[in-house]
Structures are given as C-alpha cells and as structure tokens.
Chains A and B, each alone.
Chain A
Amino acid sequence: MSNLEDKVALPPEAINLYKKISSLKEISMKELEKEMQLDRGKMEYFLSFLISNALVERTTTVNQKYVLTDAGKQAAEKGLIERLIVTALLNKQSLNFSELAKILECDKQEMNAGIGYLKKLGLLQIIQGKLSLLDDKTKINEAMQEVLKELLKGNEVDITQHQKELIQRNLVFVDEIRDSILKTTIPYSKSKSMITESVDISRLTPAMIRDGSWKTTKLRSYNLDGAPPKYYPGRKQPYAQFLDEVKQKLAAFGFQEMRGPIVELEYWNFDALFQAQDHPAREWSDVYRVANPKLGELPKENHVKLVQKAHEDGYDTGSKGWRYKWSPEKSARLVLRAQGTSVSARTLANLAVPSKYFSISRCFRPDTVDVTHLSEFNQAEGIVADTSITFRDLLGILETFALDIAETDKFFFKPDYYPFTEPSVELSVRDPKLGNIEFGGAGIFRPEVVRPFNIDVPVIAWGLGIDRLFMVKYGITDIRELFSHKMEWLRSAKMS
C-alpha cells in the first residue's frame, strides 16, 4: 500500500509515535521505549492504532547472546585447564599428579578433566605416574581462549566454531533476547494529509453518564484487532504450584503432612534409619556437613540407646545388627537433610496407628550443579502404618501413585535396595519418549528401624521423585529451570 485511501483518525499520542518512528525509519521497541519515555503498556496501546492502520509494521527479532557460566568466567580469567596443564608441562617437561596439582592450584576433578581431555587428543602421556607432553602444542585451544576473553569483556564475538564444545563443557550458555523492530510502511510526510487527530471520545466518563451527554456523543469504536498492553498478574511459581497440587492429592488420599528441620542431626538422617556409621552415604562426598556448629544435641529419649543397640547387636529384633561400636558423637553431627526419610524417622518417635503421612521436603547433596543435578531438590516421602498392612498392600499404594500422581497406567516394579527397608521396591513408569523413568521407591521399614521406637506393626516407607515428574510433565530438560529466576518464564510459563 503506498497511499492511504481513507482518512484516519488517531489519538495525538499515536501521531507522536508515528512521527518519531517515521523520522528514524526503523527503531527497536526497546529504543523507542527509551526515546518516548512511555511505559510498555501505553506504547503497545498507541502502536496498535498505527499497526492496524498499516502505517507501521512490526517484526520480532530473537538475538542469541552467549554468556559465560561461572566455570567459563574462571576459564576466561585463569585460562582453560588444558592450556594451563600444557603450559605447566612445557616448563617442567614431566610432572607427577601431585606436582601438577600444586602448580595448577585447582581442584582434582577439574585437573583430571583437563588431563582426560589432553589424553583423548593424544597430546599427553602418563608413564609410571609421570605426565608429559607428546607434542609441543602450546597453541591448543588458543582461539577458544580468545573467545572466552572477549566474552568476559562483554564484547561481541563470533563463537560458531567453538559453540558446541563451549556449551558441552558448560563454559557458556545461550541467552535469548527478544525484541521487535518497528518500521513505517508509509512515511508520515506522505500520509500526513489523510491523518486527523481524534478528539478523545474514547472514554465514557461518569459525568457523561450522569448528565446524559452520552446520548448525543459517538463513542469511538475500540480497536479489537490490536494487541492489548502486556499485563502480568500475580501468580504462583509453576513448580511451587505443582508441589501444592501433589500435596493436595496426597491429603485427599488420607495422608497427613509432616515436616522437619533443614539442618538435621545425623541421628535422624541416618542412625534412626539403621544406616551404619561407616555407610558410604554418610561420607563427605555424599552429605553436606555443617561447619558451625558442627554438633547438635541428641534427643533425651530412650530410643537413642535402643537405636544404638539395633546397630550394635540388632536390639530385640532377632537381627545380627551391624556389629560395631556405635558412636554418639558421629550421630550428633549436624548435616543438611540428605533424604526426606529423616522426616519420617522423626515421626516414628510419635507414630499413630493406623496412619498415613507425607512430607515434601528440600534435600541437599554435594553434587556439582548441571543439567541433571542440583545441590538441592525436593523429595516427596511418607509412611503408612497398620497392623494389617502387607508387602502386596505396599505395591497397591505405589499403583495408586502411578495412576493418580504420575497419571499413567504404564508402570512396573523392580527389586531395589535401601538400607532401611526390606523388601525394597522401585516404581518405574514407561514414558513413550523418554523410556523407563524411576518414579518412586518404597519398602517396609526393617525391624531394626521401628523397634527402637517401640513399634510392633509393619510400617511402609515410600518416596516419589517429584522433581523428575514435573520435568517430564512440563517438558523441561534442564533441572536448573525448576529454580529459574528468568522473569519471562516466571511471568509467562503455561499453567497446563
């Protein structure tokens, strides 16, 4: 369209906007916002007149920006680990692991990753514990290092060549920036004669209603095609909302909620659950230990002594126990709750029979944060206690969870292992796209767990992987998104 055929009436603000865009020929929405000092909502409103009259057209742009991760920043500042290793070996010819670690001053895991990287490329050999270069390749990943440096400075840089590797090595992530570009289809100078300023008769005022002037006034038609101003109502975080729904379902099934503290005694996290004090899950690599204070106080109740006996000789259960000297000091150590079962353990101390309990609790494990691991996650856990309950009932409860919480009838059971239950079972669901997914675990608490709390009835313990379930349901592949702080997602994620 080169000319306007009909006259167009526009509000004065829209005309101003039109003039501005026309004077610049092309401008991005963001820049325009700054120029006009109008908020986004109003601007959208006035723009809609220009767009619907085909005076201005709008195209959306998506700009990919590469941003350094923490590891990426470090590599940009200190240098890529493989380069540091090469430099160290060039200077010293050959080094053993500990010498290299001293020079690099980085953690072992990172160093090993670098060594592995160089070995794979055939640049490095290890003979009798000594590392040396096979080739004088100081130039390794020089270009990549430059790219990182440029990114650190905030400069634009072409990373296509390294993109895949940088993302794979978790040095860089892709941030998408959306904007739109506005362009005039007809310059203001050409359409000027056809445009009139509309009087503000868009608004029906209280006075008009009262004095009856509405009867003789023609109210301007609303523009029904235009996009409304953006509006972001208050809302719950999508994952929190999902957890609320799971809680409501469990409550509706007759489960009573329970809770426990985040900083937990090893006693409740492990000992009360019959996990021997030298169990690998209690090591530094598997549980976060609190530095201040290091120790808490064990409960005053008698069950502490009986838990000790259960570990040492099985107490009155007929079990052999773990046969070692149990240490109250180890049990009093403070850790970050590593499994939701600790909350169940606390409930055993005051258990009602019959009863069903659940808890959704934040748990913590010393994992390096990546696409599939978080340092903290949520576990749904619970117990069911009754004189009449059996292992087959336990399978029935898991079936209910599969049908009503995972909402699938494609599920099956597998034998599993937990130190505190026997028999133990895994609940897996078959996802058409992702294959078998472990959705839950359960078992009957061992007598060594329940007897110290003077419980004589079978107690079923169960847990559900709700983080994973949410991800499957919402098509999320990066677990870090559960805690996403992207306003765009928080405001606009679909509720489905």
Chain B
Amino acid sequence: MVSIKTSYTKMKELLGIDVTIEELDDLLAFAKSEIDDFVEEEDMLVIDIKTSNRPDLWCPEGMIREIKGILEQEAGIPQYEVKKSDYKVVVDSALASTRPYIACAIAKNLDLTDYSIKQLMQQSEKIDNSYGRKRKRSSIGMYNLSMIESPIEYKVIDKSHKFVPLEHEEEMDLPTILEEHEKGLEFGDIVKGYGHYPILLSANGTTLSLPPVINSNDVGRITEDTKEFLIEVTGTNYETVNVVLNILCQTMVEYGSDIYSVEIVYPSEIRKENDITPLLEKEEITVNLDKINKYLGVKLTSDEGIEKLRKRRFECKTIGKTNLEVKIPPYRKDILHWVDIAEEIAIALDYNKIGVTKWKVITKGGLLPETESENKVRNILVGSGGIEIFSNILTDPEILTTNVNMTKVDLVNLQNPVSLTYSVLRDKLFPLLISVLSKNTHETYPQSIFEVGEVVKILGKRVLTQTNASYGFAGAEASFEDVHKRLHMMLDLLDTEYKIESISHPAFTEGRSGKIIIAEKECGIIGEIHPSVLELNQIWVPVVVFEIQLPYIPTLNCKKKFTD
C-alpha cells in the first residue's frame, strides 16, 4: 500500500466537478484507493492506494485519470504529442553489469507552484521507494534543463570526483557523499555494491547527479522558476525504467507541459540499438471474451466489452467473433494475462452493481480431527475449573529461560525481531503460565489457568509445530495433588495409561516433580514450581503445573507438523 497527501480542492479541480468527501471516496475505489484521513482546516487529504503494481496511480492526476473514465468524461488511452529534442545521453559500457539502463524526457512550458513541486517530489519518492525497490531497481532524477548541455554522459567516474550535493554548500567527493550525506547514508549501499560510481555529467562538465543517491545542488534543484525540465530514470530493469518515465511524462502532460524526446546512445554491451525515449509504443494483448464472460459470470457482447475497456482507459477492437485486441496504455506494465483484463471489465461493471450469485454446490464441512482433539482437552480442563489463557507464540526469551531457571534452551529465534520482547517462538507453555500468574498476584487465589496451544521446536535441522496443553494451579493451599488429580482425570477420560517418574528439572522442586511417560515415551512434566522461580517471579503462593505434548496421547489425533 502507498499513501499520499494531497488537497481536496486540487482533487475537485482535476475532476472538474464538485463532490463531497464521501462521494470522492466512493469514486476513488475505482482507482483502488481510499481516503484515510481528511483534515478540513488544512484542506489536506491522505489517500491510501492499495496497488503495489500500479505506480501510475500514485499521484492525484493518476487516480483522476481512472475516475474520469468511470464517469465517462474521457475514454481510451490518453494521447499527447512528443516533439523531438536535440538532447542525447551517452551510456558507458562499464555500467553494463551494474546500473545499465536510462530513460529520459524533456518537459517544457511548465508553470509549477511550490505546491505542485512538492506533489511531484512526493510522486517520485513513492515510486522510487516502492516500485523502484528503494531505488535499487529504478530511481528518478529531475533537473533544470537550462543548465545542461548535450550530450549528457551517463558513465562511471573516479571516486575523487567532486560536486555540491543537494542541500549542501560545499563540494564533496563521492565517498564522502555516501558516508556523510543524509541520502548517501540511506541509499549509499546500492552504489557500494556496484564497486564503482555512476555519474550523470553535462557536456559542459557540470554534474547532474550521482544516481541513484543524490542530485547536485544547482542543476538538480527544481524551483518555481524552473520552466524546462530534464527528467531521467536509471535502473537495473529496462522495462521498469521506461514505464516509470512514461508515468512521469503522462503526469507532466496533465500539468500542462509539452514533452520532448531524448536519444539514448547505448554501447553494444548493453543494448543493440539506441532508444528514443519516452517509449510510447502500446503493448497489446488478445483476449477471448467468452472466457472472460464465463470467468466473471456475465454475458457481455463485443461492443459492451470494448466500451467497458475504454472506460478503463484501454483501446480495443474485435478480432473475429469473440476475440478482442486490447491496447495497453504505456504507463501500465501490470497486465500479464487475460485475467487482468477480466478484472478491468469487472471494475467497469462496478462490483456493487454486477449482482451476486449463489454457488449452490454442496460440500462437506468440518473441523480437522486435531482441532476436535484439542477441543476435547480444552473442555476437560475447563470442566476441571481452568480459566483458559491465550498467549503470544512469539515471545520473550527471558520468559522461557531465566524466569524459569533455565539456561540452555534451543529456541527458534529471528534474524529481524522488532523488539526482544517478541523475538523467539515458544517451545513450551508452562513458563507462560508462570508469567500470567506473576502479573496477577493482586487477584484472588486460588488461580487455576491453562492453555492449549501451538509450540515450535527444532529437531536436528528441521522445525516442527505441535500442540501442547499446560495447566497451572496457584494458591496458599496448592499442592502436587491439585495437578496430579487433574492430569489423571484427563488421561483417564482420554483412555490413556501413563506413568510419572521422578525428574530433576531446574524449574521444579526435586522430589516433588516428575516426567510424564506414555507408551515408554517421555512427553510431559508435572510438579511443584521451585520456590526460587516463585521468588524470581514475585509469586508468593505455591504453584503446581503440568504440561503435556498432545501428539503423544494415542487416543487423540494431534500430529507434529514439519515445515517442508
């Protein structure tokens, strides 16, 4: 999801009609967008756009383009003329293995306000961050054309090269920019990975930018006085670089600008032929309307299909009886398959007007045997007075180790935890019960609690998920009997024989705890929590617990689930 800020007045202006906030929100749905917030005093709208594959929608003009189609104010692919310029970009073959592609255009006759510059910057930033994969796949640069002379060089340069980066006053060499400039710190790793420094240079020697990191402070500074722009997109993916340029050109046209092309001179190591960008050839896809009708559950004629697609800003014509040849606007690269066209038709039909149908095939439903088994155990424990608790599976390592006197535990932990409190997966439940008891010492005793839930364990090189059940009893009078009788009753109801053998476990008092054995396999623990653990957790009454691994109870249907 992408979120942008814009003005309500601006949206109405672009739309050409007066709409309430609610009406606007309803219309935005057709552009897969919605109003997240509206600050009336500041005329500010925050709009969330749900598509990660439609960067053309990430600006007010893009969303309005879609809505105008739906409102039938406009139809088909927006057209504009591209004039030829004398500008050229020469690409260095050394970039072939790092950041080889560039697409450029020139926008003239622009009359930007401070606000529209901010909007344009917002659009670039959103595209760079998400669609450009934080500038790794593509990044946008905009420059004051009047300071640039052709041919522009896109080449590798020595690290000693110096220029004044945006928002600074002194010249810096390239490594210093990466180490000290705000943007260098943010995006420098991309360039470091290349092992060399890409640079854009004007024929007069001035630096345009160090792509994808930072523009220069003079050529690369856009103000209200800038009337002629050079727009440039560099990147690692040819298609991405070009579609991003197309999106920007389309937006610029809607700002009232004229677009001029730029020739890109590629070395043979990168591309066989030169480009004249923007590349506005329209991609085509042929779809079968019968298939689409069946897929959606509708019956559209070819004419209706064409009309719906024109509403969605496509051009199309019939081929034969039921095929449609669909031309895709050059600012879109998200159409991979005819199902994508099917969706466009469905949106044009309006999800809320297309009419729902009821699929009436009968299927047999039910819970999994393991869920039924867990429910049996939960019901028994509720019947024995247990209050069920629900705790986090992703939890605090302290709860599972030091808080219960344990040190070496093989826990699944994470490469990227957000905080230590949520950084390991629980491998057992009873320490979580101790944690619950420690938070409730001001409540009436006795406290009788349980959890039946999933735990995760490492077994050699494999990881498995299984369900355990743990019950705890705390109170001035709590004794081994309180858990023994419940475990016994539970296993007896489940028709399972078991043994308890003495165990030495750091969380429990020796001689007052044991392991639970079913069919010769150790599968649980029962006993009195060691006073030192109680002291540590500030629980001032005795606590007894048991925990049992449900896959070991033969009359239940609980299984270990391995991740493979």
Residues on A facing B (Cβ under 8 Å)? 39-40, 70, 96-98, 128-129, 177, 230, 232-237, 239-240, 244, 247-248, 250-265, 278-281, 284-285, 288-294, 296-299, 314, 317-321, 323, 334, 336, 354-356, 362, 364, 366-369, 375-376, 384, 386, 388-393, 395-399, 412-417, 419, 422-426, 444, 446-448, 458, 482-483, 485-488, 490-491
Partner of A259, one of B357, B368, B440: B368
- Give the interface centre of A262, A369, A426 by most chain B CB atoms within 10 Å: A262
**Which residues of B from 436 to 450 have beta carbons under 8 Å from A?**
436, 439-440, 442-445, 447-449
User: Min CB distance, A321 to chain B, in Å?
Assistant: 7
**Residues of the B chain whose Cβ atoms lie less than 8 Å from the Cβ of A392:** 296-298, 354-357
Q: Of B94-102, B407-415, B514-522, which stretch is located at the interface?
A: B407-415
**Residues of the A chain whose Cβ atoms lie less than 8 Å from the Cβ of B436:** 485, 487
Complex CA distance for A225 and B416, rounded to whole angstroms: 59
**Residues of the A chain whose Cβ atoms lie less than 8 Å from the Cβ of B393:** 262, 362, 364, 376
Chain B 418-447 near chain A by CB (<8 Å), digits 1 or 0 = 110110010000000001100110111101
Q: Contact: B294 with A290, CB < 8 Å?
A: no
B268 at the interface (CB under 8 A from A): no
Q: Contact: A447 with B337, CB < 8 Å?
A: yes
Complex CA distance for A290 and B465, rounded to whole angstroms: 14
| Chain A residue nearest to B357 in the complex (CB) | A392
**Residues of the B chain whose Cβ atoms lie less than 8 Å from the Cβ of A70:** 419, 421
B321 at the interface (CB under 8 A from A): no
B338 at the interface (CB under 8 A from A): yes
User: Min CB distance, A412 to chain B, in Å?
Assistant: 5
User: Min CB distance, B357 to chain A, in Å?
Assistant: 4
Q: Contact: B185 with A97, CB < 8 Å?
A: yes
Q: Contact: B359 with A485, CB < 8 Å?
A: no
Partner of B363, one of A256, A261, A422: A256
**Residues of the B chain whose Cβ atoms lie less than 8 Å from the Cβ of A292:** 412-413, 458
- Give the interface centre of B29, B167, B351, B391 by most chain A CB atoms within 10 Å: B351
Residues on B facing A (Cβ under 8 Å)? 29-30, 32, 34, 50-54, 130, 133, 137, 167-169, 179-182, 185, 239, 294-298, 336-340, 342-343, 346-347, 351-352, 354-359, 361-368, 370-371, 375, 378, 381-394, 412-419, 421-422, 425, 435-436, 439-440, 442-445, 447-449, 454, 456, 458, 461-465, 561-564
Complex CA distance for A183 and B338, rounded to whole angstroms: 80
| Chain B residue nearest to A352 in the complex (CB) | B363
User: Min CB distance, A180 to chain B, in Å?
Assistant: 13
Complex CA distance for A107 and B50, rounded to whole angstroms: 29
Q: Contact: B390 with A482, CB < 8 Å?
A: yes
A129-B182, A251-B367, A288-B417 known; A415 vs B361 contact (CB < 8 Å)? no
Partner of B387, one of A97, A128, A234, A354: A234
Q: Contact: A265 with B564, CB < 8 Å?
A: yes
24 A–B contacts, CB within 8 A, in A order:
A235-B387, A248-B367, A261-B463, A262-B454, A263-B412, A278-B137, A279-B52, A288-B416, A289-B415, A289-B416, A290-B412, A292-B458, A321-B336, A362-B393, A375-B418, A376-B392, A393-B359, A414-B29, A415-B30, A417-B52, A422-B342, A483-B390, A485-B389, A487-B440
- Contacts A70-B421, A129-B180, A251-B367 aside, 18 further interface pairs with beta carbons under 8 A come to A70-B419, A97-B182, A177-B442, A232-B448, A235-B382, A260-B561, A263-B456, A288-B415, A296-B463, A336-B414, A369-B419, A375-B418, A397-B359, A415-B29, A422-B343, A423-B347, A485-B440, A487-B440
The number of inter-chain residue pairs (CB within 8 angstroms) is 293
Q: Contact: A250 with B365, CB < 8 Å?
A: yes
User: Min CB distance, A289 to chain B, in Å?
Assistant: 4
User: Min CB distance, A256 to chain B, in Å?
Assistant: 6
A257-B366, A375-B422, A388-B361 known; A446 vs B443 contact (CB < 8 Å)? no
Complex CA distance for A97 and B52, rounded to whole angstroms: 30
Complex CA distance for A265 and B564, rounded to whole angstroms: 7
Q: Contact: B416 with A284, CB < 8 Å?
A: yes
Q: Contact: A395 with B354, CB < 8 Å?
A: yes
Q: Contact: A390 with B387, CB < 8 Å?
A: no
- Give the interface centre of A129, A367, A447, A448 by most chain B CB atoms within 10 Å: A129
User: Min CB distance, B358 to chain A, in Å?
Assistant: 5
Complex CA distance for A296 and B561, rounded to whole angstroms: 14
**Residues of the B chain whose Cβ atoms lie less than 8 Å from the Cβ of A279:** 52
Q: Contact: B337 with A354, CB < 8 Å?
A: no
Q: Contact: B444 with A262, CB < 8 Å?
A: no
Q: Contact: A251 with B415, CB < 8 Å?
A: no
Partner of B394, one of A128, A376, A424: A376
Q: Contact: A458 with B295, CB < 8 Å?
A: yes
A230-B444, A336-B394 known; A235 vs B388 contact (CB < 8 Å)? yes
User: Min CB distance, A466 to chain B, in Å?
Assistant: 14
Complex CA distance for A297 and B460, rounded to whole angstroms: 13
Q: Contact: A356 with B365, CB < 8 Å?
A: yes
**Residues of the B chain whose Cβ atoms lie less than 8 Å from the Cβ of A258:** 368
- Give the interface centre of A255, A297, A392, A398 by most chain B CB atoms within 10 Å: A392
User: Min CB distance, A313 to chain B, in Å?
Assistant: 11
